[in-house]
Chains A and B, each alone.
Chain A
Amino acid sequence: MLSKSQARTFFLGGTVLSFAVFIGLSWNTLSKEVPKNTHEENLSPQVISGKHLWEKNNCMGCHTILGEGAYYAPELTKVYERRGEGYIKAALMSKTPWSPRGRKMVAYGFTEQEANDLTAFLKWIGETDLNGFPAKPKYQTTINQSK
Chain B
Amino acid sequence: MRYKSQKVAYWFFALSMLLLSLQIIYGFIMGFAHMGYDVLHTYIPFNTARAVHTNLLVVWLLSGFMGAAYYIIPEEAEHELVNIKLAYIQLISLALVGVVAIVGYHFNYWEGRKFLEIPRPLDWLVVVNVLTFLGLLLTTLFKGKKKTTTSMVLTMGLVFAALLYLPGMIWFDNQTMDSFFRWWVVHLWVEGVWELIMGGILAYLLIKITGVDREVIEKWLYVIVGLTFISGILGTGHHYYYIGTPKYWLIIGGIFSALEPLAFLGMALFALAMYRKGEKNHPNKLALSWTLGTAIVSFVGAGLLGLAHTVPQVNLYTHGTLVTAMHGHLAFWGAYGMIVLAIISYTMPNMTGRNLFNSVNGSMAFWLSNIGMLGMTVAFGVAGVAQVYMERIMGVDFGEVQKEIQVHFGILLICATMFTVGISLFIYEFIRYGRPNDEAIIIQ
Q: Which residues of A contact B (CB under 8 A)?
A: 2-4, 7-8, 10-11, 14-15, 17-19, 21-22, 25-26, 28-30, 33-35, 37-38, 40, 43, 47-48, 51, 54-62, 64-75, 97, 100-104, 106, 121, 125, 128-135, 137-143, 145
Contacts and interface: CB of A to CB of B under 8 A. Distances in A.
B396 A142 contact: yes
Contacts of A68: 114, 179, 243, 320
A37 B225 CA distance: 35
A4 B219 contact: yes
B246 A33 contact: yes
Interface of B is mostly: helix
Given A10-B226, A102-B399, A135-B316, A22 B236 contact: yes
Given A26-B180, A56-B112, A137-B395, 7 more contacts: A28-B246, A58-B47, A60-B47, A68-B243, A101-B403, A138-B393, A145-B397
A11 B108 CA distance: 44
A4 B215 contact: yes
14 contacts: A11-B223, A18-B233, A18-B234, A26-B180, A30-B177, A60-B112, A66-B179, A69-B320, A72-B46, A74-B399, A106-B41, A131-B247, A134-B319, A137-B395
A141 to B, nearest CB: 5
A137 B41 contact: no
Contacts of B48: 58, 61
A4 B243 contact: no
Interface of B: 30, 33-34, 36, 38, 41, 45-48, 50-51, 108, 110-114, 117, 149, 173-180, 215, 218-220, 222-223, 225-227, 229-230, 233-234, 236, 240-250, 252, 316-317, 319-322, 324-325, 387, 391-400, 402-403
A56 B322 CA distance: 24
Shortest beta-carbon contacts, A-B, top 7: A61-B47, A137-B395, A101-B399, A58-B112, A67-B320, A133-B242, A11-B226
Contacts of B399: 74, 100-103
Contacts of A145: 397
Contact of A15 (B230, B240, B393): B230
Contacts, number: 223
A143 B41 contact: no
B233 A19 contact: yes
B320 A75 contact: yes
Contacts of B219: 2-4, 7
B36 A61 contact: no
A33 to B, nearest CB: 4
Given A7-B226, A10-B226, A62 B47 contact: yes
A106 B240 CA distance: 30
B396 A103 contact: no
Contacts of A100: 399
Given A66-B242, A103-B402, A141-B395, A15 B46 contact: no
B393 A29 contact: no
Contacts of B244: 34, 37-38, 66, 128-130
A142 B400 contact: yes
A64 to B, nearest CB: 4
